[in-house]
Copies of this chain bind each other. A is one copy, B any other.
Amino acid sequence: MIAEIITIGDELLIGQVIDTNSAFIAKQLNKIGVSVYQITSIQDDKSHILKALEDAENRVDIVILTGGLGPTKDDITKKTIAEYFNDALVLNTSVLENIKSIWQQHIKTRLLQVNKDQALVPSTSKVLMNTLGTAPGMLIEKGDKVFISLPGVPYEMESLIEHEVIPCLKRKYNCPYILHKTLLVYGLGESALAERIESWEDALPSHIKLAYLPSLGLMRLRLSTKGFDEKVLIKDVQSQIDAVIPLIQEEYAGIEDEEGSVEIIIAKQLTKLGETLAIAESCTGGAVAERFTVNPGASAYFKGGLVTYSTQSKINVLKVSEEEVNTHSVVSKQVAESMARNARELFQSDYAIATTGNAGPKKGDSEAEVGTVFIAVATQNAVYSQEFNFGNLRIKVINKAVNKALEMLLKEIFKN
């Protein structure tokens, strides 16, 4: 089965909003063996929506639309879908009850006609009840094809995908199993990695596809396959992973978690070991802590973090000695290590990581070149650090520093 995702909204086409919905939907579809053939972002415009529906119907089996279901005048998706299917909008009383209930519980202003009108749906559609918001999801079948329209608000859409769309598609189609495994590789560029594993890559069976995904300071190597025998696929891919790991032994950092990334691997391991983490950040400004705390369960291992952005706060709050700062500069191996050591003590954690550097665009409180970053890791027995230069683009420096800090911590945790 193949699908197309159509995201509707002028805000996407003027670059005001980044389309995060498509990636979420694509990931969930993949898990049940539905491949996404194309993602198309279009305007809140009737003729454009009609054309996109027609094109998608010709290309794929499953069409999922998001956006344009709000109560205001710029939201025209529902009317346009009804027109596409030569259908009329009718009142769905269950949806109306849901809207009234949301109003009673959460909303102080009075219920308007435009809100009630959100209970109008195409007469041939099956309603996918949205308990988190007032715009219902809708599913329309046309022969073997399915059209699904969902609200664009991410958490409403996500809940509908999980609780309504996926179960429904699983019932309707006999889908193959799709398997992706992604290896995390640090310290090798794309072509150097490709050269290292060339003979292995050339010998890959044709049903296993390989992709190189470079990101700042980290390469991800993805193996993908699909078929109806799940056990055989898992075995095939695992044997390829077993064959490639010896070729990249030094640089290999693990398998990316299905749901996440390096920080999830770290989180799981710390939780398993009952060990804890503290973070002291300067140039990364909270971004390392945020990578951990955005995921549930962080309180099991994350003691806390400090963003000591100013030199003064490194001295006053994190108790780095003023003398050390003056002797070595605030961007130095010594200060990074003191930050990590002191954060570990302050938060009474097993591990601490610290970053200090200059992310640019200008030089700050030190003479360090833009892009210079020191990252330190403190453990019960030792503190060590590394110096990096991540170039002169602020966002690149920050992201590379975050990835490198996670890498150093990952290696430390799995060393034991």
By a beta-carbon cutoff of 8 Å, the part of chain A in contact with chain B is 10-20, 22-28, 30, 35-44, 48, 55, 70-74, 107, 109, 112, 114-115, 132, 153, 155, 159, 180, 182, 188-192, 194-195, 201, 209-214, 220, 222, 224, 278-279, 281, 284-290, 292-294, 296, 298-299, 302-310, 312-313, 316-317, 346-348, 360-362, 364-365, 391, 393-396, 398
Contact = CB atoms under 8 A, between A and B. Distances in A.
A155 B395 contact: yes
Contacts of A293: 284-287, 307, 309, 398
Secondary structure call for the A interface: mixed
A402 to B, nearest CB: 10
A5 to B, nearest CB: 9
A348 B11 CA distance: 40
A302 B43 CA distance: 39
Nearest to A317: B346
Nearest to A361: B296
Contacts of A25: 15
| Copy count, this protein chain | 2
Contacts of A107: 189, 192
Given A38-B48, A316-B348, 16 more contacts: A12-B26, A13-B36, A14-B30, A19-B19, A22-B41, A72-B191, A112-B191, A286-B287, A287-B290, A290-B290, A296-B361, A296-B394, A299-B309, A304-B306, A305-B307, A305-B309
Contact of A214 (B70, B109, B209): B70
Contacts of A42: 38
A17 B307 contact: no
A153 B43 contact: no
